Amino acid sequence: MSDPKKLFIKTYGCQMNVYDSERMAESLGGKGYVTTDKPEDADMILLNTCHIREKAAEKIYSELGRLKGFKTANPDLKIGVAGCVAQAEGAEIMKRQPMVDLVVGPQSYHRLPQMEDALARGETALDTDFPEDDKFETLKSRPKAKRGPTAFLTVQEGCDKFCAFCVVPYTRGAEVSRPSDRIIREAQELVEAGVREITLLGQNVNAYHGHDGGLAGLIWELDKVDGLERIRFTTSHPNDMDDALIDAHGTCDKLMPYLHLPVQSGSDKVLKAMNRKHTRDQYFKLIERIRAARPDLLLSGDFIVGFPGETEADFEDTMDLVRTVGYGQAYSFKYSTRPGTPAAERAQVEEDVKLDRLHRLQSLLSEQQYDIQKSMVGRTVKVLFEKHGRETGQMIGKSEYLHAVFADTTDVAIGDLRDVRVVKTERNSLGGEIV
């Protein structure tokens, strides 16, 4: 019996790419591949790319340059580029890096086995279509092997919002929702494999329409799954936070009190230029309603500074919004151009101004995050333990608020859900004692 072929996948970007990489590995598993964490041992290397961050494509070309040595050492090695950079660049990748054997977009990776067959026939393997067939149904079922206690589950892809800074509508396509029965089936399989917490994923997840009750209806269906203890979802758009979803935050015990709800800017002028289709006041009122439903909810957000046309007064509106709302976690970035998006053609804010604003915003956000963590000291939280601290001997998990929590104990196992009293806070984690 021949040795299995080895597959190395390097994943960039969001949680959805993590999920996609898992499914790519499953797809190629039917062709005899097993995963490896050593690229030098691989028979196939896949770069699952993200196009959101600055100079994403150039970074992938740089990474491909570093892989040339592996190809020289093993001429039979297959190298592929997948994900959103693959969708955006297409055949240009093979033109610039002829050593690349296959290019596959994020909606076509279920065709990887056929693409490998094409390579064996000496044909080009390029697929950046938006196929009509359901990639999730085409892929084989998830392996029944034991899994960790948390998992991602994609329920929705694509976006119809067309924010002026974003490439997602062009690389992931229009909004598409998976039927709820298929999601429930996959969730049940995950629970049978040991998963206790599922995070529902989508580029605009709260626009999910694969259930009559929208995302809230899906959450209530998942609430019935025996053995599933926790439900989360990301990433959301303020315009799609409907009444039912807000109510679910206050009434569904399995839905965790954590919400990632990007606003991007606190300036009405900038929000309009971004094509966000909401105002700062509408965002404030939405937060009030959500916190009325779930007062202890921890809020997370995304912010872009230095968007074309942003003045110092606009930036101060963002700082004011942050001070007013209060964020337990947040992600903040300098604006960077994305070719093909409307904002890329506009006059740009100077880089040193962007950097100064980013530092000031991040300082405020870090202060808020640390203050909220300090407020947790003395409270009891429920922690789902996920791993051992190899160097410290501690057990590490996540609270219902998504805080990392560590505890000095040998009395719990991975997958246990235990009450923990918080006794101290570090910069990015909490320390606690089992109750």
CA-CA distances (angstroms) from residue 289 to 95, 285, 330? 52, 6, 20
pLDDT tens for 377-415 read 999 999 999 998 766 679 999 999 999 999 988 789 999
252 has binding-site annotation: no
Torsion angle of C-alpha atoms 242, 245, 246, 247, degrees rounded to 10: 120
Q: Name the percent of the chain lying above pLDDT 70.
A: 94
Q: Name the percent of the chain lying above pLDDT 90.
A: 67
Residues 155-170, mean pLDDT to the nearest whole number: 89
Task: Fill in the amino acid letter for 351.
Answer: E
Q: For position 57, what pLDDT does the model report?
A: 78
Q: Predicted confidence band at 202 (pLDDT cuts at 50, 70, 90)?
A: very high
Q: Predicted confidence band at 131 (pLDDT cuts at 50, 70, 90)?
A: low
Return the higher-pLDDT residue of 132 and 411.
411
Residue 196's contacts (CB-CB under 8 Å, 6 or more residues apart) are 149, 150, 227, 228, 229, 230, 384, 415, 417
CATH number of 144-256: 3.30.750.210
Q: Which residues pair with 35 in a beta bridge?
A: 7
The model's pTM: 0.81
CATH number of 5-127: 3.40.50.12160
Q: How many residues does the chain have?
A: 435
Domain range annotation of the chain: 5-127, 144-256, 380-434
Q: Is the pLDDT of residue 267 over 60?
A: yes
Q: For position 15, what pLDDT does the model report?
A: 80
pLDDT tens for 208-261 read 999 999 999 999 999 999 999 999 999 999 999 999 999 999 999 999 999 999
Q: Would the CATH topology of 5-127 be identical to that of 144-256? A: no
Residue 81's contacts (CB-CB under 8 Å, 6 or more residues apart) are 46, 47, 49, 60, 64, 89, 93, 100, 102, 103, 104
- What HEC string does 291-325 produce? HHHCCCCEEEEEEEECCCCCCHHHHHHHHHHHHHH
Q: For position 409, what pLDDT does the model report?
A: 84
User: Could you confirm whether domain 380-434 is CATH 2.40.50.140?
Assistant: yes
